Amino acid sequence: MAHKVKMLGTGNAFLPNGRLHSLVLIDGIHLVDAPPTALISLRNNGIPANTIETIFITHLHGDHIFGLPFLFLERQYISDREGLSPLKIVAAPGARERITELCNLAYPGSLEKFLPSITWIEDDTGWTDDGWSWERFRVHHDDSVDPFGYRFESKDGASLVHSGDSGPCDTLYDAIERSQLGVVEMGFPEWVDSDHHHKPSDIQSLAENNPSTKFVITHTYIDDKNSKFPKITESEFPLHPDNVHHASDGDEFYWKNGTWN
């Protein structure tokens, strides 16, 4: 069986030129996060909002969850008016209350029908209906927003990790060592004095220490290579190792016969 990971967005919170907020789609039905640009990301790729079956929440920063009220509103009033498309949200305990508060702030009274229809899953591990196992693990970021990463493995052996927002940490790196594909953020340039995001040197070390893993860089601070506008923060790419792909919006990766390409 083939599997597909599609990068619907690859930018960090500052939206570098040519990039929407970081957003990953697995096998066409599972989203990792729901940033403010989630709905336009789906629209740009011809994906009806009501075909999304699961949303995995990594943490509660705005560029990762502020698209949820718009997705919910769209499903309730446009793509799933009859309420026939179940939606599951996988998130750490406490996220449901904060997301509900966000929705009530954004559209008071408008989502009272939709919110109770969501199936919330707060377990640390579980299975999707189409056969992906998942595990959630804490990562190194702003603790006030409950930061987590996810590791996924299919019944036929495909495996991948999504870092969420995280600087270098053992929990993330342990998950990567057990996986074929690593979708890893690189939200900071080298000169920023913080370890809450990966920097180019961190990606370099990570790739060198895991030569058999394919890495896809997302949540980047660098403008897309095809941008014709003045740079936002940076337009020059680091020289990545051969097993690293600095993704653009729309890039796709396929798993078949034991490898990701």
Over the stretch 74-85, which tens digit does the pLDDT of each residue have?
A: 999 999 999 999
Average pLDDT of span 132-155: 98
Q: At 37, which CATH number?
A: 3.60.15.10
Note down the domain range covering 20. 3-260
Q: What's the domain count of the chain? A: 1
Specify burial of residue 229 (Cβ count, 10 A radius: 0-12, 13-18, 19+). Answer: exposed
Average of per-residue pLDDT values in the chain: 97
pLDDT at residue 114 in the model: 96
pTM of the complete model beyond 0.85? yes
Percent with pLDDT over 70 in the chain: 100
Specify burial of residue 102 (Cβ count, 10 A radius: 0-12, 13-18, 19+). Answer: middle
Average pLDDT of span 116-126: 98
For residue 215, the Cα-to-chain-centroid distance in whole angstroms is 14
